[in-house]
Amino acid sequence: MHNILVTGGTGYIGSHTAVELIEEGFNVLIADNLSNSDITVLDGIEEITGVRPLFEKTDLCDRSSLKEYFNRNPGIDAVIHFAAAKAVGESVENPLMYYRNNLVSLINLLEEMELRSSGSLVFSSSCTVYGQPGKLPVTEEAPVKKAESPYGNTKKISEDIIADTVKAAGHLRAISLRYFNPIGAHHTALIGELPRGVPDNLVPFITQTAIGIRDELKVFGDDYNTPDGSCIRDYLHVTDLARAHVTAIKRLLHDKNSKDYEVFNLGTGTGVSVLEMIRTFEKVASMKLRYRVTDRRPGDIEQVWADTTLANSELGWKAGHSLEDALASAWKWEKNYRQLKKNK
Ligand code: WQD
């Protein structure tokens, strides 16, 4: 049984990936500093899979404690690195925290991996590296543009750090997965996207508006050059995204990678506008959603969706859930989470 270290594994995508890894027969270890997640996520993972991953609260930015972590946990075969700060707006206000947290943690991790046999890395990257692509759908060959935010820049720089380190080290190999917009929750609604304050992202804001926590959804602009004027994104079910990480890890562990460093877009290949998201949610939840069109949000790009050819043909992964499935799972999670909170 291979041992997989999942950094940031109590987070939204990390926890869903831990579930899929366990169900695929991997032994999962989670290192997380719990700065943006809750240890109760381990209960959800255990309830779903029957397995409680080995968890240690760990600050990946602390070089000596990370070395001790690896000394205590020998035999890590591969690492999936999720741990990072990821709020676009916060990164604009506090760039140094983002550069330190996201880059130092990665550098420390790579230094440890270089010293040991855990030579396979899957990295959580983002379509944000493309900025506003000139051509859509966007392929992995598209130019990586000036990031719209320090958060996006840390993803760009991280990819370069990984590519250069893999090239120099010789025994490391890595895959960067460029996520489009992950949404939804595990079908059991036992894990999902934990809300922290006012949501930045569209879907948690929709479900919190629908359940009555928010008065109304603000649609950030309907004067874009798109069919209905609102921004277009490629929204994919978080479980499909999690399964892509299992596929990527197996690719590296079974030496199926064609290069030591590979990049794949993870999206559905379909663009959906904000107003279409609202309509689809209203259909799925059989309710009207209160919303108002307001000004554009600074930093938003107009439209992006993935060319998924490489992920489908080379990686052997394809998103399987429909948008309706994803929104229904988000709504089920919101209702379940609020019920849990009420019962506490
Ligand atoms: C989607 C669309 C908004 C909220 C960001 C990061 C990306 C990744 C996912 C971390 C946009 C509109 C949103 C609202 C709205 N983050 N919107 N009202 O900005 O595409 O991507 O989150 O990995 O890296 O860049 O996602 O969900 O914030 O916005 O109208 O209250 O919904 O304008 O068009 P985004 P989002």
Tens-digit pLDDT string for the chain (344 aa)? 999 999 999 999 999 999 999 999 999 999 999 999 999 999 999 999 999 999 999 999 999 999 999 999 999 999 999 999 998 888 999 999 999 999 999 999 999 999 886 699 999 999 999 999 999 999 999 999 888 889 999 999 999 999 999 999 989 999 999 999 999 999 999 999 998 899 999 999 999 999 999 999 999 999 999 999 999 999 999 999 999 999 999 999 999 999 999 999 999 999 999 999 999 999 999 999 999 999 999 889 999 999 999 999 999 999 999 999 999 999 999 999 988 877 77
Cβ atoms of residues 218 and 297 within 8 Å: no
Is the overall model pTM greater than 0.95, yes or no? yes
Does residue 12 have its Cβ closer than 6 Å to ligand 1? no
Nearest protein Cα to ligand 1, atom 13 = 202
Q: How far is the CA of 310 from the centre of ligand 1 (A)?
A: 24
Q: How far is the CA of 326 from the centre of ligand 1 (A)?
A: 16
Mutate to test the pocket of ligand 1, among 233, 275, 280 (most ligand atoms within 8 A of CB): 233
Ligand 1 atom having least distance to the Cα of 299? 19
Does residue 38 have its Cβ closer than 6 Å to ligand 1? no
- Centroid of chain to Cα 93: 22
The beta-carbon contacts of 54-59 under 8 Å, at least 24 apart in sequence, are 54/28, 54/29, 54/30, 55/9, 55/10, 55/29, 55/30, 55/31, 56/29, 56/30, 56/31, 57/32, 57/33, 58/7, 58/31, 58/32, 58/33, 59/33
179 is catalytic: no
Nearest protein Cα to ligand 1, atom 22 = 201
Nearest protein Cα to ligand 1, atom 23 = 86
Closest among 128, 139, 278 to 217, alpha carbons compared? 278
CATH of domain 202-232+270-312+322-343: 3.90.25.10
Q: Are strands 235-237 and 181-183 parallel, antiparallel or unpaired?
A: parallel
Does residue 233 have its Cβ closer than 6 Å to ligand 1? yes
H or E stretch covering 7:
strand 3-7
Cβ atoms of residues 179 and 241 within 8 Å: yes
Mutate to test the pocket of ligand 1, among 86, 207, 273, 274 (most ligand atoms within 8 A of CB): 274
8-state DSSP, 315: I
Describe the chain by its helix, strand, coil percentages, rounded to 5: 45, 15, 40
Q: How big is the CA angle at 284 (ends 280 and 290), to the nearest 5 degrees?
A: 65
Q: How far is the CA of 42 from the centre of ligand 1 (A)?
A: 27
Q: What is the pLDDT of residue 118?
A: 66
Q: End-to-end CA distance of the chain: give it in Å, rounded.
A: 38
Both tokens of residue 16? 């869903």
Q: What is the pLDDT of residue 117?
A: 66
* Strand intervals (E) in 113-240: 120-126, 173-179, 181-183, 217-220, 232-233, 235-237
Domain boundaries, the chain: 3-183+236-267, 202-232+270-312+322-343
Q: What is the pLDDT of residue 339?
A: 85
**H runs (alpha helix) in 224-273:** 238-253
Q: What is the pLDDT of residue 56?
A: 97
CATH among 3.30.465.10, 3.40.50.720, 3.30.565.10, 3.20.20.370 for 3-183+236-267? 3.40.50.720
- Considering the candidates 98, 130, 151, 337, report the single residue annotated as catalytic: 151
Q: Measured between alpha carbons, how far is 139 from 309 in angstroms, rounded to an integer?
A: 8
Both tokens of residue 258? 């064609």
Q: What is the pLDDT of residue 247?
A: 98
